[in-house]
């Protein structure tokens, strides 16, 4: 993360507070210009092999790409009011006689969409790494605690016992699905195009499809079957929808941390630097789950981008310009924030304090209530039957609550329960570790399934 002194009066917090420098660098203006120039040079190289432009042309164009300065491009753009033609003219200035062949047969968005796809490719590689790192951390946690018994909760109420490892395995399984979805959509996102002004490829016909294939291959991109002047923005909408889904999961995982860190539960906690970290400016005792809360806030920003990406898929005829301005804002923010919250989520779980003793204390404090289902199941196997067993245990719990008696005492004292299942089974039913089912097995299945 950068600091204030590294930038001159930054406007966006993405420049100094949120995000990694590696991801930011993919979307910096100089980097984007470099991608545009690379695409122009690669196009010329392929065109030369197809004899569309003269021999010994592309080498000069390629060499000139290292000489183009962003300041000059911006100066030209301020005069002609066209971003890609400004790039072309700046490159032409440095290319000598070869310059007149730059951008031959291409339209602006052949260059823009292909350069953006290089950004997608590089950015998604960082996203995938962050996902893999989080998978590793969750896997370690699930394995370590696959037999750590705790209260399961539904509707905010005590339910039946669960293991902490199973809780984490559920998160891990969900994260793995997001990775599988990314594998499915990535070919559609990492796609270039060179089909010209309306998607017909007329300007370089009859070689256009060959040129498109070769350029995309050289740049490590896929190619489309058909486009208008631009790649269909359903691709970007799908990407941001996927990322929003992932961001929602990350918020959900860390929301559980926030809830379990509540003072009245206290079963897990974010790492806290006792020597230096301040929890509150006024309440000196506070140790707040600030990273998880930060993740939640930024995940909502990621999700907020969905609406605009769907609107951008609405184009007049073979294209208009309405998508361009918003994508300049959305794409850097989307990738920078998504990677950041992935990294922060990994930090939360790799350093998570799991209070096993508090988990046991909370189970004990429930005074046997979470074991009600165990009694229903055990009694159902007798001649009492399932419905009668359920009603019996329900009544015992209601009576215990009304009289202030512990459920564990009330169920032990109940004549019907004692007659039907006996003291040994009663004791077994009251032990939480006896009612976690296939938790360990499910954890192992999840661990074996992750990629």
Q: 0.85 cut: is pTM over it?
A: yes
Q: Output DSSP code: residue 222.
A: B
Structure-token pair, residue 365: 């404090």
Alpha-helical segments (H) within 147-270: 164-189, 208-218, 234-260
155, 263, 281, 317: the catalytic one is: 155
Contact by Cβ (8 Å): 40, 88: yes
337 closest CA partner among 15, 90, 62, 7: 15
Which run of H or of E encompasses 149? strand 149-154
Structure-token pair, residue 22: 């590696």
Alpha-helical segments (H) within 351-414: 356-365, 372-380, 386-403, 407-413
At 281 the pLDDT is 44
Contact by Cβ (8 Å): 229, 319: yes
CB atoms inside a 10 Å sphere around CB 87: 28
How far is 106 from 233, CA to CA, in rounded Å? 20
Q: What is the pLDDT of residues 202-220, one digit of tens each?
A: 999 999 999 999 999 999 9
SS3 label, residue 153: strand
How far is 364 from 367, CA to CA, in rounded Å? 6
The C-alpha R_g of the chain, in whole angstroms, comes to 30
Q: Which fold has domain 112-355?
A: Fumarase C; Chain A, domain 2 (1.20.200)
243 closest CA partner among 336, 169, 313: 336
Contact by Cβ (8 Å): 332, 241: no
How far is 306 from 237, CA to CA, in rounded Å? 7
- Is the Cα torsion angle 326, 251, 249, 445 positive or negative in sign? positive
Domain borders along the chain are 4-101, 112-355, 362-449
Q: Which fold has domain 362-449?
A: Ribonucleotide Reductase Protein R1; domain 1 (1.10.40)
66, 280, 304, 325: the catalytic one is: 280
At 451 the pLDDT is 74
Q: Is beta strand 268-269 parallel, antiparallel or unpaired with respect to 353-354?
A: antiparallel
Q: What is the pLDDT along the chain (451 residues), one digit of tens a residue?
A: 444 445 567 788 888 899 999 999 999 999 999 999 999 999 999 999 999 999 999 999 999 999 999 999 999 999 999 999 999 999 999 999 999 999 999 999 999 999 999 999 999 999 999 999 999 999 999 999 999 999 999 999 999 999 999 999 999 999 999 999 999 999 999 999 999 999 999 999 999 999 999 999 999 999 999 999 999 999 999 999 999 999 999 999 999 999 999 999 999 999 865 555 555 444 545 468 889 999 999 999 999 999 999 999 999 999 999 999 999 999 999 999 999 999 999 999 999 999 999 999 999 999 999 999 999 999 999 999 999 999 999 999 999 888 989 999 999 999 999 999 999 999 999 999 999 999 999 999 999 999 7
CB atoms inside a 10 Å sphere around CB 219: 19
280 part of the active site? yes
Structure-token pair, residue 262: 């509540």
155 part of the active site? yes
In sequence order, what E strands does 264-400 have? 268-269, 353-354
- Tokens 């350029």, located at residue: 215
At 48 the pLDDT is 97
How far is 240 from 64, CA to CA, in rounded Å? 35
In this structure, CATH architecture of domain 4-101: Orthogonal Bundle (1.10)
At 273 the pLDDT is 55
Q: What is the pLDDT of residues 27-83, one digit of tens each?
A: 999 999 999 999 999 999 999 999 999 999 999 999 999 999 999 999 999 999 999
Which run of H or of E encompasses 140? helix 108-144
């Amino acid at each position: 993360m950068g600091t204030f002194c590294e930038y001159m009066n930054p406007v966006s917090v993405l420049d100094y507070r949120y995000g990694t420098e590696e991801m930011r660098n993919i979307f910096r203006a100089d980097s984007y210009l470099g991608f545009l120039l690379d695409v122009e040079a690669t196009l010329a190289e392929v065109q030369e092999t197809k004899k569309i432009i003269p021999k010994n042309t592309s080498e000069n164009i390629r060499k000139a790409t290292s000489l183009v300065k962003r300041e000059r491009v911006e100066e030209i753009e301020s005069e002609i009011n066209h971003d890609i033609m400004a790039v072309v003219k700046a490159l032409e200035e440095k290319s000598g006689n070869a310059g007149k062949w730059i951008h031959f047969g291409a339209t602006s968005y052949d260059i823009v969409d292909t350069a953006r796809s290089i950004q997608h490719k590089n950015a998604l590689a960082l996203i995938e790494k962050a996902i893999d790192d989080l998978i590793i951390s969750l896997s370690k946690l699930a394995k370590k605690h696959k037999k750590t018994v705790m209260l399961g909760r539904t509707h905010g109420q005590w339910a039946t016992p669960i293991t902490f490892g199973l809780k984490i395995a559920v998160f891990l399984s969900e994260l793995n699905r997001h990775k599988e979805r990314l594998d499915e959509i990535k070919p559609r996102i990492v796609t270039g195009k060179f089909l010209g002004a309306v998607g017909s490829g007329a300007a370089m016909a009859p070689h256009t499809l060959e040129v498109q294939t070769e350029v995309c291959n050289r740049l490590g991109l896929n190619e489309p079957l058909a486009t208008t002047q631009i790649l269909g923005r359903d691709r970007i909408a799908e990407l941001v929808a996927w990322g929003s889904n992932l961001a929602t999961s990350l918020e959900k995982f860390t929301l559980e941390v926030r809830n379990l860190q509540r003072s009245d539960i206290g079963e897990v906690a974010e790492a806290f630097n006792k020597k230096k970290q301040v929890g509150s400016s006024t309440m000196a005792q506070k140790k707040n789950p600030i990273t998880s809360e930060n993740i939640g806030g930024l995940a909502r920003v990621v999700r907020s981008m969905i609406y605009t990406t769907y609107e951008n898929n609405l184009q007049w005829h073979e294209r208009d310009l309405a998508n361009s301005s918003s994508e300049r804002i959305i794409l850097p923010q989307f990738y920078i924030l998504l990677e950041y919250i992935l990294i922060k989520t990994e930090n939360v779980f790799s350093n998570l304090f799991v209070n096993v003793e508090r988990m046991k204390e909370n189970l004990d404090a429930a005074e046997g209530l979470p074991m009600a289902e165990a009694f229903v199941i055990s009694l159902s196997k007798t001649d009492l039957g399932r419905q009668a067993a359920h009603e019996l245990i329900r009544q015992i719990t209601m009576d215990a609550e009304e009289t202030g008696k512990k459920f564990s005492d009330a169920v032990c004292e109940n004549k019907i329960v004692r007659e039907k299942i006996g003291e040994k089974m009663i004791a077994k039913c009251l032990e939480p570790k006896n009612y976690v089912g296939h938790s360990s097995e499910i954890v192992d299945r999840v661990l074996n399934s992750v990629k």
